[in-house]
Amino acid sequence: MRILSGIQPSGALHIGNYFGMMRPAIELQERGEAYYFIANYHSMTSLFDAEERRNNSLDVALDFLACGLDPDRAVFWKQSDVPEVTELTWLLSTITPMGFLNRCHSYKDKTAKLADGDEEKVNHGLFAYPVLMAADILIFDSNIVPVGRDQKQHLEVTRDIAIKFNNLYGETFVVPEPEIRDSVAVVPGTDGNKMSKSYGNTIEIFGPQKPLKKKIMSIQMDSRGVDEAKPDAEENHAIQLLKLMAPATEAQETEDKLRAGGFGYGDLKKTLFEYYWNYFEEARKKRDELANNLDYVSEVLNKGADRAREVATKVLDRAKNAAGLN
């Protein structure tokens, strides 16, 4: 079984990325051949600063390795080191009806949020984004793709493209399945909406303690006082975050205290901060070690690219044969 996923180097990774995508991906490396990459081509559709892309790509590599991606088990590389995906993207583009792309929420949301004068940022790459993503997935004969819920529609487009190509040119691609964990499908941010870089409501996995504590202490709550009972404690987003990082019994106790009254939001956030900080303690140490050993990190990515490229070349060749190019 082959498992594949990618993550864009578009900013510091947050705990939504961690619980929604990275942790499932790391757990899955025990269950099959894991292929994970840094989607730097995709980041070009919305990030236009070369230095930032370079720095972010290194940060994602450090973050993912620190969190437990094991280069002895998983193949890990930078997307642009396997340029075969861009060739496959062209083959797939020619059989992708415009309608498949017109219906994608992610494109529609991004264009709807643009400020006046930013219309030029709506580039062709942003529209064609799901086709490149389909190529990423199909070029590795991937069976399972662990992602957060926001990527579900892109996976549906990938499946539709694979089926269409197979019907037209004969069985060529494996049709992949998404793996979306319900419990962490949408991790809430500090304002209670989906945690996302683009909403400015993130809690990063790594960084200096003070500003991270400040972020957690700034989680928005309603105006009920300490003594008031909070019968809806289960829906509180700090409680939902706590459940991801504290042992189940302790998270439940905190929820019960909040429900009963006499336990305020300040105490809740302090508790959340303690569990959050401890949860990533080991990863933080590992990240510091890796940051002092960047040669090792580039070696991992170079070896990963070589291994990934071997598979990609074969599948691209298969697709070119099927389409009558070879």
Of these, 147, 238, 244, 301, which contacts ligand ADP (CB under 6 A)?
A: 147
Residue of minimal Cβ distance to ligand ADP: 20
Q: What angle do CA 270, 272, 275 make, to 5 degrees?
A: 110
**CB 4 → ligand TRP: shortest distance, Å?**
6
Select from 198, 298, 313, 326 the one that contacts ligand ADP (CB under 6 A).
198
Q: Which C-beta is closer to ligand ADP: that of 180 or that of 268?
A: 180
Q: What is the closest distance, in whole angstroms, from the C-beta atom of residue 29 to ligand ADP in the complex?
A: 16
Beta strands across the sheet bearing 2-7: 74-78, 33-38, 2-7, 144-146, 177-179
153 binds ligand ADP (CB under 6 A): no
- The DSSP symbol for 115 reads P
User: What is the closest distance, in whole angstroms, from the C-beta atom of residue 197 to ligand ADP in the complex?
Assistant: 4
Helix-strand-coil split of the chain, %, nearest 5: 60, 10, 30
SS3 at position 81 = helix
Q: If binding is defined by CB under 6 A, does position 17 make contact with ligand ADP?
A: yes
Question: Which residue, 85 or 91, is less far from ligand ADP as judged by CB?
Answer: 85
Distance CA 266, CA 263 (A): 8
Instruction: Give the one entry of ligand TRP, ligand ADP, none that residue 197 binds, where binding means its C-beta sits below a cut-off of 5 to 8 angstroms depending on kind.
Output: ligand ADP
* Residue 187 is a binding residue for ligand ADP (CB under 6 A): yes
Q: Does 8 bind ligand ADP (CB under 6 A)?
A: yes
Determine phi and psi for 266, rounding to 5 degrees.
-60, -45
Q: Binds 58, which of ligand ADP, ligand TRP, none (CB < 5 to 8 A, cut-off by type)?
A: none
Least distance from C-beta 181 to ligand ADP, angstroms? 9
Please check whether residue 78 is in contact with residue 35, taking contact to mean a CB–CB distance below 8 angstroms: no
Question: For ligand ADP, which stretch binds (CB under 6 A), given 57-65, 110-118, 184-192, 280-288?
Answer: 184-192
Residue 75, H or E segment: strand 74-78
Q: In 3D, which of 201, 189, 177, 284 has the Cα closest to residue 238? A: 189
